Amino acid sequence: MNAGNAVFELNEKCFIPSPTQQIHSNIIESAGVELFVLRLDLMHPWVNGNKWYKLKYNLLEAEEKSFSTLLTFGGAYSNHIFATAAAGKLFGLQTIGIIRGEERLPLNPTLSFAVQQGMQLVYCDRTSYRQRHTPELHAQLRERYGEVFIIPEGGSNLNGVRGCTEILPEANDFDVICVACGTGTTFAGILLSLTQKQRGIAFPVLKNGGFLKQEIDSLLESYLASGLPTPNNSLCSWELICNYHFGGYAKINDELLKFSQQFQQTYDIPLDYVYTAKMFYGVMDLLQQGFFRKGDRILLIHTGGLQGNLGIQQKTAKFKT
Ligand SMILES: *Cc1c(COP(=O)(O)O)cnc(C)c1O
C-alpha cells in the first residue's frame, strides 16, 4: 500500500471536520460585526490544531521516502512535541524528541504523554539547542540515530506552510481572519489561501513581535518560489498586531487567566494561555476600540494547544503554595 495514501486514509478516519461556531455578545453586536470561531482544537484529542496541519506534509514526505523514524525539536511544554509523538504512534512511525534543557523528574504532562506514545526523549543543553537548524547538528544526529526524517521545531518549514493552506474551509466568505502567531508559519499558510478581498491579522505571542513581518514575507516568498501548490496567486493584505503578548512567550497574568476562564464559562470554548487566549483577548479589546469595519464577518482560528494548560496549571499551582 502507498504510505501516502495511508496518511490520507487515516486523515479521513481519525479526524473530525473542525466546526465553525458563531459567538454572540454585547461587545460583538455593538461593534456591528459577526464573529466566528474555527475549532481546530476539536479535530482529534491529541493530534489537532495548527500542529496537525504543520505535520501533515512532513509525515507524507517521510512516508514517501520510506523513513521509519521522525526526529524533531521542542521545549518541555511544546505542543509540537506532543502532537508529533501522538502522530508518530497513530501513523506507525518511531519518534525522537530533542528537548531543550535538562531532564526534570517527574516528567511534566507534555513529556510524560510523549513517552507514553513511544517517543524517545533526548535532552539538549541550551547552547547546543541553538544549533537545531544547522546541517552540522543534523549530520551528527543522523550519525547517532541513523536515517531519521528531521522536522524542524514547531513543524515550521514549507511542508508546514503547505498544510496550513488547508486550514480554512474552501470558498469561505469571511472578511477578516485572525490567528495567534509564534513563528508565522501558520499565518503564512493561511494568507496563501485567502483571496484578495480578505484580510489576515496575526497576533504575535512573543514580545517585540514586529520582526515577524520580515519572517512572514520571506516565508511567503520562498513558498511561492518553491512551486508547491497555492490555492491563490494573489496575496491579500495583512498585518501584525503586536501589543497583546502579555509580557512575552508563555507569560501570563491574572487578567489573561480571568479572561480565558470567563470566555470558557460563557461560550464553552477552552483557550490555551500561550497562544489562543492572547489572540481572543486582543480581538475582544479591538472590537471595543472600533478597530473592525461594521458588517465584517470575522473568523478567529482556534489553533488548539490545550494540552499546554496542564503544565501551566501545575506551575501556577506550585507558585501559589
Ligand atoms: C504553535 C502554535 C501557534 C503558532 O504557530 P506558528 O505557526 O509558529 O505561528 C499558535 N497556536 C497554537 C495553539 C500553537 O500551538
297 in helix, strand or coil?
A: strand
* C-alpha to C-alpha distance for 269 and 21, rounded to whole angstroms: 10
CATH architecture entry for 49-155: 3-Layer(aba) Sandwich (3.40)
Residue 109 beta carbon below 6 angstroms from any ligand 1 atom = no
Ligand 1 lined by 50 (C-beta under 6 Å): yes
The one-letter code for the residue type at 207 is K
Say whether 49-155 and 18-46+164-320 share the same fold.
Answer: yes
Give the domain ranges of the chain.
18-46+164-320, 49-155
**Average pLDDT along the chain, 321 residues, taken 10 residues at a time:** 55 78 97 98 93 96 96 97 96 97 96 98 96 96 97 98 95 96 98 96 97 97 94 88 97 96 97 98 98 98 95 66 37
Instruction: Specify the residue with its C-alpha closest to ligand 1, atom 14.
Output: 305
Predicted local distance difference test score (pLDDT) of residue 164: 97
Ligand 1 pocket member 180 (CB < 6 A) = yes
CATH code of domain 18-46+164-320: 3.40.50.1100
C-alpha cell at 116: 507514553
Nearest to 244 by CA among 218, 268, 274: 274
Q: What is the DSSP letter of 17?
A: P
Nearest-angstrom CA–CA distance, 292 and 281: 15
DSSP state of 168: S
CA 273 to chain centroid: 13
Distance 50 CA to ligand 1 centre (A): 6
Ligand 1 nearest atom to the CA of residue 185, by list position:
7
* 200 within ligand 1 shell (Cβ under 6 A): no
pLDDT of residue 318: 54
